[in-house]
């Protein structure tokens, strides 16, 4: 059953909140300027020039008409001034066109560069986030909103700059109007107030709707992916899931559509109503200007200048207020983005600054360790006591969900134990520098990543600074048996892997696994952890991989998680976990004599092979 939605009705963001978000705008511009100062200042310069053109064009237009009227009445015609004015208007028109193009070009280029910059920042920031937060859905919502900055902010930049440009246009047109007929300003205010009311009324509503739908949008993205991707295609076809997924997508999208439709309708309805009032005021002004012209107070040129200026001014003011709403809404997203960047993500370990020992002396000790995942009341593991001795190969076994991977996450300081502590050479691990501590480990997780990059990159990920060290990459590949995979690939180490890209070659599960294991060998780590690293290997490859692993990592400390007892038995000791507790620990022989779960499961598997 789909989970209940709490966030479908939009939470209203009020006008004050919208305004508060504007405080991020200066920082936003500082960042844009930093991205490319030359483009930024060119853009500003063009906009300032472009802003004074409208009033100049209207003024030249007025002079032109007055001159035409003079020349119509004159007996002897002097056309020089007329042609001069036509020429001036032509130059202004061409300049305006060129400036507009330069503005949109620099807008686009700056926007592209800024979105690259923000994407890079988000990727970097995400790496600072603790695993616990990454696994939390609220965090994902925040990340999703921050990610929207990368594409949506180009519009915000140009909107704000256009706003500044329009302010200059408005100022210059106002001066022109006031000089002729101050009364027109009153009518102008009347024509513009309706737009202002409309914008205040709807400010923040689209953002509120979008924000309250973050979770659902993530679900929609997921359903789109599940219904139309190469990864899911096999099962979707086989189980005939397409219709089900499409309907689920449609059901949820329709709800969103209905809400945005109702908002858009309200906005359009009120907008039209207020617009009629505004247009009426404009025609009032027009009538006033016509009366004055007929009475001989204004010339024909004045009439065109004033009516043109008034209309322009009204449009510019309307645009100014409408854009203001768009800006405040976008600024709210900006707030999400900067808050994401500024937040210092909760660290499991903040006090640690001890340097790591060069070589492990005694090993790791789990002392009465218990753990509950954040926001969960359930003890996943509890009262865990054991030692992982220096140089020892320790295997974890236990049924699904027994807590094996969780113990690894605790050992790696991805999470801090809820109770008890973990020690390295007698010192609590949280006292060590966390980054250096995590560098101590070479880990291949059960759900290791299949990077859709080249094979070289996939192996070098274990120690990315050594990506050009061919002998080291080859040696890692040889140790993990990945070299057999490479010989079959036409482009060898430069082969693009995966199906996503052109010339990409997909590998079998076992082949991917061999490459992932090569990553562990690539890193000359003190402690190696292999969490079911060979589950996709065939029996022969698995035995070979483990025999090699034991030989090649002699003297190194290692933890191996596996469900295959034939593999597990080569470890120095085996720890059996059941329901989050240590049931037994010892060598294969000791546990067989114990005749408890290990012996039972071992015999069960052995019987299966007979």
Q: Which is nearer to ligand ATP, 164 or 401 (CB)?
A: 401
What does the DSSP 8-state code read for residue 524? -
Output 204 or 403, the one with its CB closest to ligand ATP. Answer: 403
Of the pair 405, 458, the CB lying nearest ligand ATP is at 405
Q: Is 521 exposed, middle or buried (0-12, 13-18, 19+ CB in 10 A)?
A: buried
Displacement of CA 384 from its chain's centroid (Å):
38
What is the closest distance, in whole angstroms, from the C-beta atom of residue 546 to ligand ATP in the complex? Answer: 18
- Whole-angstrom distance, CA of residue 381 vs CA of residue 407: 8
The dihedral through the CA atoms of 150, 154, 160, 161 has a sign that is positive
| Minimum distance from residue 415 beta carbon to ligand ATP (Å) | 9
Task: State the Cα–Cα distance between residues 95 and 526, nearest whole angstrom.
Answer: 68
In 3D, which of 253, 247, 243, 244 has the Cα closest to residue 219?
Answer: 253
In contact, 473 and 493? CB cutoff 8 Å: yes
- Exposure of 133 in the CB half-sphere (CA atoms within 13 A): 17
Q: Which is nearer to ligand ATP, 541 or 581 (CB)?
A: 581
* Type and span of the H or E element at 369: strand 363-371
Nearer to ligand ATP, 524 or 600 (CB): 600
**In the complex, minimum distance from the CB of residue 506 to ligand ATP, in angstroms, rounded to a whole number:** 25
Least Å from the CB of residue 371 to ligand ATP: 9
Nearest partner of 249 among 211, 222, 212, judged by Cα: 222
Least distance in angstroms from the C-beta of 134 to ligand ATP = 9
Query: Min. distance of Cβ 435 from ligand ATP in angstroms?
Result: 22
Least distance (Å) from ligand ATP to the CB of residue 409?
8
Q: Minimum Å distance from CB 376 to ligand ATP?
A: 5
**247 vs 446, beta carbon nearer ligand ATP:** 446
Toward ligand ATP, which CB reaches closer, 383 or 505?
A: 383
Q: Give me the least distance between CB of 597 and ligand ATP, in Å please.
A: 14
Tell me the C-alpha distance between 102 and 108, whole Å.
Answer: 10
Q: What size, in residues, is the chain? A: 610
Angstrom distance (rounded) from CA 604 to CA 601: 5
Helices (H), 129-213: 131-134, 137-147, 149-180, 183-202, 205-212
256 or 445, CB closer to ligand ATP?
445
Helix (H, G, I), strand (E, B) or coil at 346: coil
What is the nearest approach in angstroms of ligand ATP to the Cβ of residue 378?
Answer: 7
**Contact at 8 Å (CB) between 388 and 364?**
yes
Q: Which is closer to ligand ATP, CB of 331 or CB of 577?
A: 577
The 10 Å Cβ neighbour count of residue 309 is 24
Give the residues lining the site for ligand ATP (CB under 6 A).
135, 373, 376, 380, 398, 400-406, 446
Rounded to a whole number of angstroms, the minimum distance from the CB of residue 590 to ligand ATP is 22
Query: Closest CB to ligand ATP among 58 and 380?
Result: 380
Query: 241: helix, coil or strand?
Result: coil
What radius of gyration do the chain's Cα atoms show?
A: 35
CA proximity to 62, closest of 302, 309, 308, 311: 302
Q: How far is the CB of 116 from ligand ATP (least distance, A)?
A: 32
CB of 417 to ligand ATP, least distance (A): 13
Distances, alpha carbon 198 to alpha carbons 40, 184, 202, 351, 568, in Å: 33, 23, 6, 53, 71
CB nearer to ligand ATP: pick between 57 and 402:
402
Give 346 or 499: the residue with its C-beta nearer to ligand ATP: 346
* Cβ neighbours around 292 below 10 Å, total: 17
Are 517 and 525 in contact by the 8 Å Cβ rule? The answer is no
C-beta of 336: minimal distance to ligand ATP in Å?
24
Judged on CB neighbours under 10 Å (0-12, 13-18, 19+), 9 is exposed
β-strand pairing of 573-578 with 581-586:
antiparallel
Nearest alpha-carbon partner for 104 in 169, 158, 25, 164: 158
Nearer to ligand ATP by Cβ, of 357 and 420: the residue is 420
Cβ distance to ligand ATP smaller for residue 169 or 575: 575
CB closer to ligand ATP, 333 vs 602: 602
DSSP string, 326-345: HHHHHHHHHHHHHHHHHPPP
Q: Least separation, in Å, of the C-beta of 252 and ligand ATP?
A: 25
Angle ∠(345,350,351) on CA atoms, nearest 5: 170
């Amino acid at each position: 059953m789909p989970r209940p939605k709490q966030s479908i009705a939009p939470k209203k963001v009020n006008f004050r909140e919208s305004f508060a978000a504007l405080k991020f705008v200066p920082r936003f511009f500082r960042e844009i300027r930093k991205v490319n100062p030359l483009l930024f200042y060119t853009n500003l310069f063009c906009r300032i020039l472009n802003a004074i053109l409208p009033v100049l064009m209207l003024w030249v237009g007025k002079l032109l008409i007055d001159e035409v009227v003079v020349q119509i009445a004159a007996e002897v015609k002097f056309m020089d001034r007329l042609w001069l004015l036509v020429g001036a208007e032509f130059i202004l028109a061409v300049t305006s066109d060129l400036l507009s193009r330069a503005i949109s070009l620099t807008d686009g280029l700056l926007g592209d560069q800024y979105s690259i910059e923000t994407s890079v920042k988000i990727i970097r920031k995400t790496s600072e986030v603790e695993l616990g937060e990454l696994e939390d859905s609220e965090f994902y919502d925040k990340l999703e909103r921050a990610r929207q900055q990368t594409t949506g902010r180009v519009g915000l930049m140009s909107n704000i700059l256009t706003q500044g440009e329009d302010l200059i246009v408005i100022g210059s047109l106002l001066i022109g109007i006031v000089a002729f007929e101050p009364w027109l300003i009153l009518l102008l205010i009347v024509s513009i107030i309706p737009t202002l009311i409309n914008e205040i009324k709807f400010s923040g509503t689209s953002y509120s709707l979008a924000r309250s739908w973050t979770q659902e949008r993530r679900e929609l993205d997921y359903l789109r992916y599940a219904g139309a991707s190469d990864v899911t295609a096999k099962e979707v076809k086989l189980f005939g899931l397409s219709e089900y997924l499409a309907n689920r997508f449609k059901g949820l999208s329709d709800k969103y559509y209905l809400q945005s439709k109702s908002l858009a309708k309200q906005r359009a309805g009120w907008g039209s109503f207020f617009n009629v009032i505004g247009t009426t005021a404009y025609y009032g002004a027009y009538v006033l200007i016509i009366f004055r012209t007929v009475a001989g107070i204004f010339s024909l040129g004045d009439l065109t200048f004033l009516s043109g200026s008034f209309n322009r001014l009204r449009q510019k003011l309307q645009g100014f207020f409408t854009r203001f709403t768009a800006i405040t809404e976008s600024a709210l997203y900006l707030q999400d983005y900067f808050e994401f960047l500024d937040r210092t993500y909760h660290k499991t370990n903040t006090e640690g600054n001890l340097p790591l020992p060069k070589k492990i002396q005694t090993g790791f000790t789990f002392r009465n360790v218990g753990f509950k995942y954040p926001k969960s009341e359930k003890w996943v593991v509890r009262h865990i006591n054991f030692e992982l001795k220096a140089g020892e190969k320790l295997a974890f076994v236990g049924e699904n969900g027994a807590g094996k991977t969780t113990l690894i996450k605790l050992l790696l300081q991805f999470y801090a134990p809820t109770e008890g502590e973990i020690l390295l050479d007698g010192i609590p691990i949280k006292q060590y520098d966390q980054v250096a501590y995590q560098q101590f480990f070479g880990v291949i997780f059960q759900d290791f990543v299949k990077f859709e990059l080249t094979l070289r990159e996939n192996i070098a990920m274990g120690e990315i600074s050594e990506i050009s060290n061919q002998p080291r990459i080859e040696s890692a590949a040889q140790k993990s048996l990945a070299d057999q995979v490479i010989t079959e690939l036409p482009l060898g180490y430069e082969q693009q892997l995966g199906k996503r890209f052109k010339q990409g070659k997909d590998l079998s599960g076992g082949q991917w696994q061999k490459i992932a294991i090569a990553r562990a060998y690539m890193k000359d780590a003190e402690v190696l952890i292999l969490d079911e690293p060979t589950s996709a290997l065939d029996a022969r490859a698995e035995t070979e991989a483990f025999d090699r692993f034991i030989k090649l990592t002699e003297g190194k400390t290692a933890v191996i998680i596996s469900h295959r007892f034939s593999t597990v038995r080569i470890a120095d000791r085996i720890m059996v976990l059941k329901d989050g507790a240590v049931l037994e620990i010892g060598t294969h022989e000791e546990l067989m004599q114990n005749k408890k779960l290990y012996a039972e499961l071992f015999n069960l598997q052995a019987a299966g092979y007979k």
